[in-house]
Amino acid sequence: MIPHDPHHPETRTVHHSVPQPTGSRPVGVPLYQGHLFSFADAEEMAAAFQEPETTFFYNRYGNPTVRALEEAVAGLEGGTAGLAFASGMGAINGVLLALLKPGDHVIAQRCLFGGTYTVLDDLATRWGVEVTHVSGGDPAEVRAALRPTTRLLYLETIANPTTRVGDLPALISEAAGHGLTTVVDNTFATPLLCRPLDHGADIVIHSATKYLGGHSDVLGGVAVFGSDELRRRVWRYATEQGASADPFAAWLTLRGMQTLALRLERQCANALTLARRLADHPAVTAVHYPGLPGHPDHAIARRLLAGGAGGGVLAFDLAGGRQAGRTVIESVRLASLSPSLGDVKTLVMHPASTSHRQLDADALAAAGIGEGTVRVSVGIEHPDDLWHDLGQALAKVA
């Protein structure tokens, strides 16, 4: 029975009752797209402003669907709390700007996601935060780079696009010994392959746009914290920054995450198959994939990544350099020529002319990226179809 509503139609079009399930509960996480919450009385509303992290009142501060995503990712990473952002870059900026001030010094891996490299560069040139880049392979480099003002160590579990894997436990323990906060971008590994907080990291960052979402239909980022104190510091800044996650984006990410384990298993298996076949191809001079015994960090990857998996991203170098790289990515038919990764579909790109174009020749070489390097984010298709596609593209440069 719909209760009688004495108001005029103009009023009734605006005021609706919100059904609350009684007895039964939704199995999937409901989408709370509504962004405002109301209160029973003035005291309850005042209390919400006192405790804005635990009560919902306005989506920039928190939303039940977004909270479900934050808790899901924090749970997988073994953190105490998460914070969702509108994008991975939102999360990276949120964390760095919340924790750093002019005069602080950051030690960061040299081969970073291109956007992160630029953010650190901007922090240095515009905000007086000093940055030292290290290879990320050796704790001694962190020790050597230390200054009295060093606050933060920034790492990626699997570097892009070289797929180098640093000795995370050793690097983090070095940083912790000097009181630094360690932030690890775990986008490439996902919490199913590596949980940096278990190795002593303080904050883990994800571009949820990639493996967590998994279907190239949503942009999002999540930061996970090893302590509530850190979450509180970043949350306070993030609500001012305003890069909060949209509930629908959070909902899509949660929907995608339900198949993360299945997707990733297939992506890792496919990537290993392609890496082995690429290594035998005459046009290919090097294959960068941590799952291959010849990879410089294979031993670390076996220790660090669950099940000895190498992840779903690989890169390879071509004898023909920049032109050969571009020919190969323009010749694939099944794979998409696309800048992202972690999708169910296979994506290829040429870092030197796209994601890492801001690096000059020296910086490219220092980061270990070749002029002809092609990066492949391996999808869940049948491996023989993928190899057939890559094979016909490689034939054009052989």
Tokens of 6: 């004495």
Q: Which residues 143-172 are close enough to bind ligand PLP by CB under 6 A?
A: 156, 160
3-state DSSP helix/strand/coil % of the chain, to nearest 5: 40, 15, 45
Nearer to ligand PLP, 83 or 393 (CB): 83
Work out whether 244 is an interface residue with ligand PLP (CB under 6 A): no
Work out whether 207 is an interface residue with ligand PLP (CB under 6 A): yes
Q: How far is the CB of 185 from ligand PLP (least distance, A)?
A: 5
The stretch near ligand PLP (CB under 6 A) out of 138-146, 207-215, 224-232, 273-281 is 207-215
Nearer to ligand PLP, 160 or 190 (CB): 160
Nearer to ligand PLP, 79 or 320 (CB): 79
Cα 5 from chain centre: 49
Nearer to ligand PLP, 139 or 311 (CB): 311
Nearer to ligand PLP, 95 or 284 (CB): 95
Q: CA-based angle 328:332:336, to the nearest 5?
A: 115
Work out whether 87 is an interface residue with ligand PLP (CB under 6 A): yes
Site string for ligand PLP, 338-367 (x = CB under 6 A): ---x--------------------------
Whole-angstrom distance, CA of residue 243 vs CA of residue 85: 6
Q: Which residues 102-121 are close enough to bind ligand PLP by CB under 6 A?
A: 113, 115-116
- Starting at the edge strand found earlier in the chain, the sheet holding 221-225 runs 81-85, 221-225, 203-207, 181-185, 150-156, 105-109, 130-134
Whole-angstrom distance, CA of residue 227 vs CA of residue 250: 22
Q: CA-based angle 81:86:89, to the nearest 5?
A: 90
Whole-angstrom distance, CA of residue 232 vs CA of residue 31: 25
Whole-angstrom distance, CA of residue 140 vs CA of residue 221: 31
Nearer to ligand PLP, 102 or 242 (CB): 242
**Which position among 136, 139, 221, 310 is part of the footprint of ligand PLP (CB under 6 A)?**
221
Nearer to ligand PLP, 139 or 221 (CB): 221
Whole-angstrom distance, CA of residue 52 vs CA of residue 32: 17
Work out whether 219 is an interface residue with ligand PLP (CB under 6 A): yes
**Which position among 104, 141, 167, 185 is part of the footprint of ligand PLP (CB under 6 A)?**
185
Burial class (CB in 10 A: 0-12, 13-18, 19+), 38: exposed
Q: Which residues 248-307 are close enough to bind ligand PLP by CB under 6 A?
A: none
Burial call 312-322: b when 16+ CB within 10 Å, e when fewer:
bbbbbbbebbe
Residues engaged in binding ligand PLP (CB under 6 A): 87-89, 113, 115-116, 156, 160, 185, 187-188, 207, 209-210, 219, 221, 341
